[in-house]
A = this chain, B = another copy of it.
Amino acid sequence: MAKRKKSTTTKVGLPPGTIDYVGEERTNAIIITAVCFNELDYFEQKYSDYSECIKSLKPGYITWINFDGVHNVKLIEAVGKTYHIHPLTLEDIANTEQRPKIEEFENYIVTFMKMFHTNDDQILQEQLGIILLENLVITFQEPNGGDAFDIIRTRLKTAKGRVRKSGADYLAYALMDAVVDCYFTVIEKCSEQLEKLEEDLLSGSNPKQLVELYELKRQILSLRKQVWPMRDIVNTIIRFDNQLIKEDIIIYLRDLNDHIVRIIDTIESQRDLVSSVMDLHLSTQSNKMNEVMKFLTIISTIFIPATFLAGVYGMNFDNMPEIHSKNGYFVVISIMVLIIAAPLIYFRKKRWI
């Protein structure tokens, strides 16, 4: 990605299950957004204190708690304690370098994925952890300006779509769907960039564009790394025989799977095209070089021999009979014209000019 994280001091040797924040340094307070809803009611409240938030939750409602940061290890531990989350899951939440994955535990299902935000020329990546419990969804996201879920909150509030009538599983699906929709935006941006670079590289030959193309390839590879495992995630959920996932959600997950496959297809073609553009550029360069060399060869071939002849008659020997002949100069000039013309005819024959 354009903005590379600083080498994270990976926690070599720490016992597994130790919650240790891995990511950019952050100190800001984590905003907790709690949403409780059922078919009739909708409550939304922002908290900065976890215990306060927990107290205010309404039993019997579908609840969604969103944490706007994962750098507060104590907070994560507290959540783990409240909802009996396994230490390994808590460790994964705090580690923002997680590979997209899904895991089934006794009382919950947890999935990790990456969200992408395009910001000017940069593509920002932030980790999202979704924990699905009975009538409860807990999400942990990095605070990179992630407003991808605002739209879902609005949908919940205005009761538009199925999302209010369905359970926590549909809400979790809706969140994943929103994440995958973001991928389309990023991929479209890549496509645009690729098309622009294509055009530029084929007309001019700015070496900067080569580097940009390489950066694009990096981006595409990075996206690929995040999207491929998504497929397994969705397929795993579909095959799960878990009471947290209701039967009527499957069709939506299949639709989500289709979207992911479409993204993968596009990424694979883009990858292929980037290589092709590079090859094409190389061929074009080679063509241009050929032309330049031909030009140089033609000019040199025409004038070097004639210049030699001029040099010969510029020598100062006393005894140079031709020099004193009346027509010597004109004969030599004629010979020079011939020497100049001969390669031109040769090159024409060889189709160089």
B320 with A329: CB separation less than 8 A: yes
Residues of the B chain whose Cβ atoms lie less than 8 Å from the Cβ of A148: 13
> A255 contacts B88, CB within 8 Å?
yes
User: A303 contacts which of B181, B207, B308 (Cβ < 8 Å)?
Assistant: B308
Q: Are A185 and B17 in contact (CB under 8 A)?
A: no
A6-26 Cβ-contact flags toward B at 8 Å (1 or 0): 010011110111100000000
A225, B269: Cβ atoms under 8 Å? yes
Which one, B7, B254, B262, B304, contacts A299 given CB within 8 A? B304
Which residues of chain B have C-beta atoms less than 8 A from A155's C-beta?
15
Residues of B within 8 A of A352 (CB): 292
Expressed in whole angstroms, the minimum distance between the Cβ of A241 and any Cβ of chain B is 18
Interface residues of A in 170-219 (CB under 8 A from B): 174, 177-178, 181-182, 184-185, 188, 191-192, 202, 204-205, 207, 210-211, 213-214, 217-218
A287 touching B210 in the complex, CB below 8 Å, given contacts A221-B269, A292-B293, A303-B304: yes
Given contacts A182-B12, A280-B278, A315-B332, contact A296 B286 (CB under 8 A): no
Quick check: which of A56-64, A70-78, A136-144, A160-168 contacts chain B, the rest being far away?
A160-168
Docked pose: A163 CA to B18 CA in angstroms: 12
Contact call A286/B287, Cβ cutoff below 8 A: no
| Beta-carbon contact of B15 and A160 below 8 Å | yes
A27 CB within 8 Å of chain B: no
Determine whether the beta carbon of A305 is less than 8 Å from that of B303. yes
Residues A283 and B278 in contact, CB atoms below 8 Å apart? yes
A295 to B205, CA, bound (A): 15
Contact A184 B293 (CB under 8 A): no
Docked complex Cα distance between A178 and B210 (Å)? 41
A301 touches B299 (CB 8 A): yes
Report B-chain residues with C-beta under 8 Å of the C-beta of A211. Answer: 202, 280
Please tell me which one of the listed residues B88, B161, B294 contacts residue A292 in the complex, with CB atoms under 8 A apart. B294
A129 to B7, CA, bound (A): 31
Q: Is the CB of B313 within 8 A of A317?
A: yes
Chain B residues, CB < 8 A from A336: 312
- Residues in chain B near residue A205, CB distance under 8 A: 287, 290
Given A213-B280, A282-B286, output 6 extra A-B contacts at Cβ < 8 Å.
A16-B255, A202-B214, A214-B280, A288-B290, A303-B304, A318-B328
